[in-house]
Structure 1
């Protein structure tokens, strides 16, 4: 029989009410301020973002590339063979990979997967002429770059210190503040510890607000088009209600019974959707252009990573690469907590290789099929994607691209369901990590209480919908959330430093062979048995 302390259904009902109240007050004050003075708030946020990218832009580029280099070193060093806990993995490899991919991609990915090439085509990087043949080629290469190795490296450097803190050092607490406290000796419940957790909650809700603000109108447009209805706020509410019930039920059931099953189903539908578009679409163009883009990206990886355009003065690095890295960094605490929770029993190099290789390949296949299908429709005059984006909206352009498929209404409905599942997976993971952050002293293997998870399920929907209802400027919310990426970068650096220090203290005198022997030691039978059934 499984130990009570290891049972993921065991709950800890000690809520951090102070953190919850302060976090919601800060978020509410931000919404009210932006609603009352949207133009002034937008101007302040834009000036602040411009200042941040001017001062911290180059360090951000270096930080992303250095994160990738650090993970390569760690994976191939002896420390890469350290097992994160002596128990067997909690999930099968298929479920583990699926949960990481769906949590990392999110529903907004479906939007960008059809349209991102069109933005780069009009404003390409590295001095490439706009709207040229080279711009087409580089647009997909930059798409692969921004959703590839460096991006997943930023996620991974948040996962490993949390996982090591929990499963090797056996410290309690999934919070970022608990890791920082264990490294520095500060009081987790002191002002600095609370500030770390407050930054996490604010950036998480801010990022989810943008995701919902981008996804819900697209889903409403698709549903209205399929059934011939007039698009309205009521359709928005109906979709939000359906999504809320679905992911709240999934969250209530927990990771094993809820989140895992949703992500498995989501992965199957995503594969079916990609296969259908590949078979019915320009298959050879999809393969050729994807391989070409991958070659351009890999050949120019370092140049793209460090390009600051000091002579030409292009704003591409600030508008795209630096912006993207900061945006990915805002999601690192959320991904760090969630992926650490599902990675017990894995070796360090397993986590690194899975996140960098599986994560990047998953994005490249997903974007490769959808981006190339959209680009081919534009090249052959079936849909003026660039013109439609300028004249109406990206949502309309996506639906017109899907309209070129046979049985278009069926594919639009399939697309809507897939997007909803991506959104449910993202909200599932987010509500779980928010509940973890606002719980006191969760121990290894414990989950927040079901009622606490449901509370955050409600919050991650109500707050973004309130922003949509009052027409709060979502781009400003996004900018405000991204500005917290700078202090988060410092926290990530500190966490990585602490993890390396711990590894040297714990395994510095061990040979690689000794670490491998320890990693291959028999796992806890109960967990190993349970893992095989998941």
Structure 2
């Protein structure tokens, strides 16, 4: 097996003008979207927010079932593929992995779970505890409602969500790029359908730009919300002013971390941040287990997993006809669309860091190990919130009915063993989680522009700074405008889902092609 890649990183050094930042079509459309969204928000905040909200509601109601089908099909096809002989094929023309298993899994967990997982881990299970999900009929706020609450959170952040982020699409991209020499770009996912003209024509640039815009919308939201969350946390814990100035200071610190990390690359900054965060998460988890209600966590986790398995299809296929429109919009469809919007660039990143791994290893890591780790994390934080809610130590009903998840996270954190110190540790953890998303996505956007896996560090920095600036400008208008941008990812998920759809059959085809090329099967 050859031990090289068709990548040609030195070609980027000779580009001039717009080409230095990547494909001009991708650059113009992506930056144009950022500028247009900001300028329109300055012109008429309500017009933009209402327009996005209307499109968000229509998309969730009309296409929610299609999004659910795409995630279900991706997961089951990927798992089926993982048990075939073809899954022994190695990714990226390498016989041995580029990094150790721990480093590799750390990057996967931190990048794909990201700040959203920490941001929602404390509050979402408690929300489903005080507002019974449509798939269950238990009395809210009672011990009987606990397992269903955790199961619903597991559905949103479990096997289906993870599978779409880095299984079938990653296999297609890895084969196309490292074997066929095609660009490491979302357009390559449609090459089997639309042919060669897609790779160098403007249509390919439009496809890439749609994926970049979707990812920007999904990343700027967590960056902005993290600034508000940390500002609020510093105010509650240490009396610091909860103001725009504090939010900008947090944003500058966060941006500096992930821009430097992105510039130093996968084997340095991105890997170091991910390992640090895994160790910090393990330390926090150990404290919660050892000094919290240990037996309650064990029993709650087992009952939650049981409810997840028993009601898996009922929760994954809940539609607007069987649940209130508002519930579908803000929960299942919102999260599923969010993961679809992220998927092409995440798939690029997963394919890049998985060189030397087998297809089976990659699928199991992304679609099995990572979701299980996520369910444990949600049980520790969310289960703690439910426990303290039941015991009357805290009351998050009003905050969560108003979707104040920053309040929920800090309130649960302060109730945990260690109090203020635990709350501070969780704020740091959340910050680094968001940074690992910022650095990996800055890297991935630069890869999309360059078409190969060694983009210029300056281009990585450009995209990281652009996202931080957008978050800062929108925060000045109010957190609601950051929320409007995050809602936009549901609209952006529509074209992105079409780009992902062919991977349902091209993923297995690419896997079998790799297995034949490597002499694993005839």
Tell me if TM exceeds 0.5. Answer: yes
Structure 1 residues 429-477: Cα deviation after superposition (integer angstroms, max 9, x where no partner): 01000111122x42xxx41111111111211211111111222622221
Of 511, 514, 520 in structure 2, the residue corresponding to residue 515 of structure 1 is: 520
Q: Which residue matches 1:461?
A: 468
Indicate which of 155, 158, 182 corresponds to 1:172.
182
Change (3 A) 1:384 1:296: same
Residue 12 of structure 2 is aligned to residue 12 of structure 1: yes
Task: Tell me which of 286, 293, 300 is aligned to 1:282.
Answer: 293
Which segment is superposed worse, 114-123 or 2-11? 2-11
Partner of 1:149: 159
Which residue is equivalent to 2:68?
Answer: 61
User: 2: distance between equivalents of 1:274 and 1:497?
Assistant: 39
Output aligned runs, 1:1-80, within 5 Å: 12-13=12-13, 14=15, 15-80=22-87
* Separation of aligned partners in 1, 2:108 and 2:78: 17
The aligned residue for residue 140 of structure 2 is: 131
**Per-residue Cα deviation, 1:167-188 (whole angstroms, up to 9, x for no partner):** 3x33232111134236531332
The CA distance in 2 between the partners of 1:128 and 1:332, in whole Å, is 33
Decide whether the 8 Å contact of 2:410 with 2:423 is kept in 1.
yes
Contact conserved, 2:89 with 2:358, CA < 8 A, in 1? Answer: yes
Distance in 1 (alpha carbons) for counterparts of 2:322 and 2:435: 45
Calculate the aligned-residue CA RMSD, in Å.
2.6
Residue 24 of structure 1: CA displacement?
0.7
Which residue in 1 is equivalent to 2:377? Answer: 366
Conserved? CA contact 2:139–2:145, under 8 Å: yes
- Residue of structure 2 in register with 1:448 after alignment: 455
1:229-268 paired onto structure 2 within 5 Å: 229-268=240-279
Aligned to 2:18: none
Residue 532 of structure 1 corresponds to: none
Q: Would the aligned equivalents of 2:3 and 2:93 in 1 still touch at CA under 8 Å? A: no
Distance across 2 between alignment mates of 1:499 and 1:299: 29
CA contact (8 A) 1:209 1:464 kept: yes
Instruction: Name the SS of the counterpart of 1:187 in structure 2.
Output: helix
Q: Summarize the Cα distance change of 1:454–1:507 in structure 2 as closer, same or farther, 3 Å threshold.
A: closer
* C-alpha distance in 1 between matches for 2:8 and 2:416: 45
Question: Where does 1:64-463 land on structure 2 (aligned, <5 Å)?
Answer: 64-87=71-94, 88-121=96-129, 122-129=131-138, 131-133=140-142, 134-155=144-165, 156-167=167-178, 169-181=179-191, 184-185=194-195, 186-308=197-319, 310=321, 316-390=327-401, 393-439=404-450, 441-442=451-452, 446-463=453-470
Query: Which moves more between the two structures, 291-300 or 157-166?
Result: 157-166
Secondary structure of the residue that 2:488 maps to in structure 1?
Answer: helix
* 1:183 and 1:498 in contact (8 A); partners too: no
> Corresponding residue for 1:531?
none
Q: Is the 8 A contact 1:106 1:426 kept in 2?
A: yes
**Partners in 2 of 1:220 and 1:455 — Cα distance?**
25
Local SS of the residue matching 1:403: helix
Point out where structure 2 has 5 or more consecutive residues left out of the alignment: 16-21
Q: 1:252 to 1:312 in 2, by over 3 A?
A: closer
Range moving further from structure 2, 350-359 or 380-389: 380-389
Count how many residue pairs are aligned between Structure 1 and Structure 2: 508
User: Whole-Å Cα distance in 2 between the matches of residues 412 and 306 of structure 1?
Assistant: 36
Q: Is the 8 A contact 1:11 1:447 kept in 2?
A: no
Deviation at 1:142, TM superposition (A): 0.5
Post-superposition CA distance 1:19-73 (Å, at most 9, x none): 2133111221122223422323233222222322332222222222111111122
Kept in 2: contact 1:58–1:308 (CA 8 A): yes
Deviation digits for residues 364-385 of structure 1, max 9, x if unmatched?
1111100011111111111111
Q: 1:375 to 1:435 in 2, by over 3 A?
A: same
The structure-2 alpha-carbon separation of the partners of 1:112 and 1:171, relative to structure 1 and needing over 3 Å to count, comes to same
The normalised TM-score by structure 1 is 0.88
Task: Provide the secondary structure at the position in 1 that maps to 2:41.
Answer: helix
Instruction: Give secondary structure in 1 for the equivalent of 2:421.
Output: helix
1:457–1:46 Cα change, 3 Å: closer
- TM superposition score normalised by structure 2: 0.90
Question: What CA distance in whole angstroms lies between the structure 2 residues aligned with 1:375 and 1:394?
Answer: 14
Choose from 490, 494, 501 the match for 1:486.
494
CA separation in 2, counterparts of 1:452 and 1:140?
A: 41
Counterparts of 2:423 and 2:344 in 1: how far apart (Å)?
A: 33
Conserved 8 A contact 2:341-2:493: yes
Deviation at 1:349, TM superposition (A): 1.1
